[in-house]
Amino acid sequence: MMNRTSIVIQPNKISYFKDIYNLQKIHQANLIAGISKKQLIWIGEHHLCYTMGKGANPENLISFSKEDISKVFKINRGGEVTCHMPGQIVVYLVLNLNFYKKDLNWYLRKIENLIINILAELKIKALRRNGFTGVWCDNKKIASIGIGCKRWISIHGFALNFNCNLQNFNKIYPCGIKDCVMTNICDYNSEIGLIDVKKIVKKIVQEEFSLIFVPE
């Protein structure tokens, strides 16, 4: 019988990326070693930082000062550079894909679909864009996705812009896309609050992956 139990962590304060990156790696290692069978969902926000995938092109970092460079992390996921900051909902999925489908393309499309479903609950029409990973509203990108995987245990996940400072994206080519324009949920639905959106995110993630949430 498949064990789709998962811990959910939702900090009530903004987190430093490095701390949560280490948390994911520990949880991934424990699942691989069989020390734990509980998967992990983390839903929160980060202090301003930039992350780059394993094969990311450094030329996608533009207008960076020495202070900015100190906020850049090269990490074990695919994809190019993206930005995290307060007002952006970050969701990390440390999942055992043996319980689902051992196909990373399927997994990426699954994440896109759950983001589209989250936005649908907010009465926001969103869609995929051919040739790119992520989710768009009109021609503006509202969510970015980056994943890593080892022995079919996933790491990382997605970032959904709520009311973040979009000017922080001006220092990069988001996801390596030079003409990429970013947007926020609040540009399309100004009535809903951040806490309520996080509740919807948790519900949709649970439904899409048929998870049973359990205590740590």
Catalytic residues: 175
Spatial CA neighbour of 55 closest among 77, 87, 29:
77
Spatial CA neighbour of 73 closest among 55, 92, 57, 53:
53
Cβ-based burial of 85 (10 A; exposed 0-12, middle 13-18, buried ≥19):
buried
Return the CA Rg of the chain: 16
User: What is the Cα–Cα distance from 45 to 14, expressed in whole angstroms?
Assistant: 5
Residue type, 62: I
| CB-based contacts of 8-11 (< 8 A; 24+ apart in sequence) | 8/41, 8/42, 8/43, 8/202, 8/213, 9/40, 9/41, 9/42, 9/43, 9/44, 10/42, 10/43, 10/44, 10/198, 10/202, 11/44
Spatial CA neighbour of 7 closest among 108, 15, 97, 23:
23
> At which residue do the structure tokens 């139990």 appear?
5
